[in-house]
Amino acid sequence: MTMATLDSKKSSLSSNTLPLVALVGNPNTGKSTLFNRLTGLRQHIANYPGVTVEKKSGLLRIGHQDLDLLDLPGCYNLTAVSRDERVVMDVLGGRHGLRRPDLLVFVVDASNLKRNLLLASQCAELGIPAIMALNQCDAAKRNGIHIDTVLLAKQFGIPVVETVATRGRGVDDLKSAIVNALCNPSFLPRIQWPECIAKGCQVLQTGVKDLGGDGVTQAEALRVLFDNDSVFTCGISDKICLKKMVDAAHQDIRGLGLSPGSAEAVLHYRHLESLLDGVVTTSGSVARSHESIDAILLHRVWGTLIFFVVMYVVFQSLYSWAGPLMDLIDTVTGMAQGFLSPLLENMPVLQSLICGGIISGVGGVLIFLPQILILFFFISLLEDTGYMARAAFLVDKLFSWCGLNGRSFVPLLSSYACAIPGVMAARTLSDPKARLTTILMAPFMSCSARLPVYILLIGTFIEPRYGAFAAGWALFAMHFIGLALALPLAWLLNTFFLKIKPQPFILEMPDYRVPTLRNIFHRMWERGREFVLRAGTVILAFSIIIWCLLYFPRNPSVAEKVRADFSAPSASALSNNALEHRIESAYIEQSYLGRFGKAVQPVFEPAGFDWKITVGVLSSFPAREVIIATMGIIYNLGADVDEGSEDLRTILQNEKWTSGPRVGQPVYTLPVVIGIMVFFALCMQCGATVAIIARELDWRWATFSFFGMTTLAWISAVVIYQIGKLF
């Protein structure tokens, strides 16, 4: 389907004429797989307003009927303490301008029926028509679990369809069940609450309203009753009065011999057990297929070893295997520039805008794709086989002290190649707080774009003077410093600043499964497309803005002056090429960014940076790797130098202060060199990362991260220089 028809479809969706069907279920039940089966590629990813939860919707075409299909975030229950968690309740209740679904499709894992149905039992309160997709029937059968589907449907009063989402089995039956259910709705049986809970809810319903909160439904009142700090009480100022009401209700619950914390689950499980009586039979001993594999993969020694091997492969593939593809994108970008540049010879501004701004901007977006695709290939593979949960189990302890968790490992590791895929990979964390922290820490990991700076400076100043051994250590230290600072910072952030409550880190160990290529490629396609469409546009815009700042005002008199200076009889003769480099350098000095660099040089004075380093640092804010090219321009060598350039190294070694108190002294002393490297290690010099953080969280966090890291980098560079000066 072409984009145009898709767009016209989208607009017809928003006119609210199509029935809305929502998939609801626990994590890992096969909801996304089923969603993809039902919608094909006709889907659309956005965020719910005001929160960082992903909203996946798509067009479901059944015969001639079009429906709107929504994939609700996977969850175990309706507990709503954070705004992120509230989304499911808000959709089901049709709050905040969200559309209330006309039909719920409960996706349940047949191997674990009772636990999966708890969510359904909670949702029954909302009185929305429902059907059930009994998924992963194949795995259940293999595990010796037999389910009497007819009895199940009879007991729960709703249609039940057996499906195997990975193979597409039962999907057509599910489609017809959806169409039928929209005409003949049927409802899940509601739990009979004990008198005191029903009464408690009524009291809370009126109470919340009287205390000035938004009116709550019975289902929402249950949340107020069972969750402390429920989001549904956030409009209420008199929390004490509310607490009294809740406590009174809890006292009644204790009177039933239940504790308020587990009462809800206990009662739902009782309700479900009576309904499920005779539905599930297990033949013989339930073979726990993963037992023997776990014995190795979670073994103290072998498990740890295998973990590191797996992670090494993931990292290598990002760090090295993506290289050729990235080079290819670079080459194609270069070819496009080389092809267009002569055609626009007569229009220098347009030539520079198109070649320097737009094409390199587009190239700068696409360059991230290989790593994103490769990383999501591995993430899907690890998730789908069931290894990811085990990996998180193995290393959780390393991260738990600072508010991250075992699932932070892969995002942080991939950030060593590039923070963009790393930040995107933080989606695999279901706890909003841990996800937020992981995203904020990701840019601290030393990505491959920082490497050229380290190589240039270490190769120029440390290796010649202190030998290869010291150089090796310096390189290692630069890669380590970000991590060493990030973890304590995460701890600080979590302990003192983030007010969101962490969720308990409880992982379900899924069965080992054979992954399907279809699923894996779908995930790669989805993430790649999303990156290009959502973050890519912002990155491109950045790139054009920066081009403007470096190009304008471009007063021709600058070039004339350089030419005049060098054609004066006293001047030494200069080749044409060298003259061009001088002109380029003079233009940069006169550009808005160059002037800004000179103006803010005093800010970097305490770190010992001269204006040239300052302009270099400033111009690398959009993308740190351009520092080398900028230095090439500033030092009159032209933009196509690389970190190994002997000319550049010689110039840096001989660079002296030309004015000020240190006139005649070398600019690049050891403290300055280390300061620059540490500055690069800690600073958020990457427009693309800012854009992706804004995309994954929001602009406030992106701004916070940008200014926070920049300040930290500046402080570190200053401290290093000032201490270094003492020796």
Partner 1 sequence: MSGTLDGLQVGESAEIIDISSDCTRAGRMSTLGFIPGRRVTVTRLAPLGDPISVEIDGQEISLRRAEASLIKVK
Q: Where does 511-600 show beta strands of DSSP type E?
A: none
359 token code pair:
């094409």
Q: Does 636 bind ligand GDP (CB under 6 A)?
A: no
Judged by CB, which is closer to partner 1: 226, or 721? 226
Question: What SS3 class is residue 230?
Answer: coil
Touching ligand GDP, residues 343-402 (CB under 6 A): 384
Return the number of the residue (286 or 564) whose C-beta is nearest partner 1: 286
Smallest gap from Cβ 31 to ligand GDP, in A, equals: 3
Residues that bind partner 1 (CB under 8 A): 76-77, 79, 81, 112, 114-115, 118, 226-229, 250, 259-262, 264-266, 269, 286, 288, 290, 294, 298, 300, 303-304, 389, 393-394, 396-398, 400, 406, 501, 503-509
Closest CA to 125 of 263, 218, 233, 221: 218
Is 516 a binder of ligand GDP (CB under 6 A)? yes
Helix 369-385, helix 517-530: angle, nearest 10: 140
Question: Within 13 A of 719's CA, how many CA atoms are on the CB side?
Answer: 8
Measured from the CB atom, is 253 or 583 closer to partner 1? Answer: 253
The two three-digit tokens of residue 312, written as one number: 């090494």
- For residue 167 the two structure tokens come to 């193979």
Distance, CA of 361 to CA of 353 (rounded, Å): 10
Q: Residue 174 binds which one of ligand GDP, partner 1, none, with CB within 5 to 8 A depending on kind?
A: none
**Ranges within 152-181 binding ligand GDP (CB under 6 A):** 164-166
CB 79 within 8 A of CB 118: no
- Does 513 sit near ligand GDP (CB under 6 A)? yes
Using CB under 6 A, pick the residue from 33, 43, 430, 460 that binds ligand GDP.
33
The token pair that represents 92 in the structure block: 């089901």
166 binding partner (options partner 1, ligand GDP, none; Cβ < 5 to 8 Å by kind)? ligand GDP
Binders of ligand GDP among 130-149, rule CB under 6 A?
Answer: 135-136, 138-139
- Look-up: residue for tokens 């091997």? 309
Residue 8 binds which entry of partner 1, ligand GDP, none, with Cβ cut-offs from 5 to 8 Å by kind?
A: none
Quick check: 55 binds ligand GDP (CB under 6 A)? no
**Is 33 or 405 the residue whose CB approaches ligand GDP more closely?**
33
Q: Does 58 bind ligand GDP (CB under 6 A)?
A: no
CA-closest candidate to residue 315, choices 421, 455, 181, 173: 421
Separation CA 716–CA 549 (nearest Å) = 28
Q: What is the 3-state secondary structure (H, E, C) of 257-325?
A: CCCHHHHHHHHHHHHHHHHCCCCEEECCCCCCCCHHHHHHHCCCCHHHHHHHHHHHHHHHHHHHHHHHH
CB of 516 to ligand GDP, least distance (A): 5
Rank residues 400 and 516 by Cβ distance to ligand GDP and give the closer one.
516
* Cα–chain center distance at 695: 8
Whole-number Å distance between alpha carbons of 203 and 214: 15
Does residue 122 touch ligand GDP according to CB under 6 A? no
Q: Which is nearer to partner 1, 294 or 580 (CB)?
A: 294
Smallest separation (angstroms) from ligand GDP to the CB of 520: 9
365 versus 429: smaller Cβ distance to partner 1 = 429
Taking each helix axis as running N to C, give the angle between helix 463-492 and helix 670-682, from 0 to 180 degrees, rounded to the nearest 10.
Answer: 40
What is the C-alpha to C-alpha distance for residues 293 and 511, in angstroms, rounded to an integer? 10
Q: How far is the CB of 111 from ligand GDP (least distance, A)?
A: 9
Place of tokens 């000095």: 589
- If the CB atoms of residues 76 and 491 are measured against partner 1, the closer one turns out to be 76
**Closer residue to partner 1, CB minimum distance, 38 or 124:** 124
> Is residue 519 within the footprint of ligand GDP (CB under 6 A)?
yes
* Cβ-based nearer residue to partner 1, 262 or 658: 262
Of 27 and 459, which CB lies nearer to ligand GDP in the complex structure?
27
The helix (run of H) or strand (run of E) holding residue 683 is none
Q: Which residue is nearest to ligand GDP (CB)?
A: 30
d(CA 480, CA 61): 52
Given 31, 86, 175, 612, the residue binding ligand GDP (CB under 6 A): 31
- Whose Cβ is closer to ligand GDP: residue 171's or residue 481's? 171
Residue 29 is a binding residue for ligand GDP (CB under 6 A): yes
From the number of C-beta atoms within 10 Å of its C-beta (0-12, 13-18, 19+), residue 513 rates as middle
Residues in the chain: 727
Stretch that binds ligand GDP, among 23-31, 208-216, 584-592, 598-606 (CB under 6 A): 23-31
Q: How far is CA 704 from CA 174, 506, 545, 693, 709, in A?
A: 46, 30, 21, 10, 8
Residue with tokens 């776990």, as numbered in its chain:
294
Min separation Cβ 497 and partner 1, Å? 21
Q: Give least dist CB 490 to ligand GDP, A.
A: 26
Residue 656 backbone dihedrals phi, psi, to 5 degrees: -120, 155
Judged by CB under 6 A, the stretch of 91-99, 513-521, 539-547, 657-665 that binds ligand GDP is: 513-521
What residues line the site for ligand GDP (CB under 6 A)? 25, 27-33, 74, 135-136, 138-139, 164-166, 384, 513, 516, 519
